[in-house]
Amino acid sequence: MANTKSAKKRIRQIRVRTLRNKIRKTMIRTAVRRFEDALQRRDFEAAEMALRFVYARLDRAAQKGAIHRNKAARRKSRLALKLQRARAAS
């Protein structure tokens, strides 16, 4: 257990940051799920709009340090590829 005042403050800060990161990651998962649902329905316009929203969420999470920037780039690339392949298949 922390003894110093500064260590106790760090614990409080970590708790807040962990909660914020958890919220950001949940928002990413929800956005990705909406994108994939639109792909399932073959609604490519909605999928493209959802993909833009996913991009924004990923970029923001990477900017804030919730996820690594390379992970954000990799996920954006893979989701774009999914949309491209779904369009080609239909």
pLDDT at 2: 83
| Distances in whole angstroms, Cα of residue 16 to Cα of each of 5, 34, 63, 81, 89 | 17, 27, 17, 35, 45
Does 1 score more than 80 pLDDT? Answer: no
Domain ranges of the chain: 8-89
Question: Is the CATH number of domain 8-89 3.40.640.10?
Answer: no
Q: What is the pLDDT of residues 16-39, one digit of tens each?
A: 999 999 999 999 999 999 999 999
pTM score of the predicted model: 0.89
H-type alpha helices, the chain = 5-40, 44-64, 69-89
Residue 14 burial (CB count, 10 A): 10
Mean pLDDT of the chain: 97
| Distances in whole angstroms, Cα of residue 32 to Cα of each of 5, 14, 15, 28, 47 | 41, 27, 26, 6, 10
Q: Tell me what the mean pLDDT of segment 61-68 comes to.
A: 97
pLDDT at 23: 98
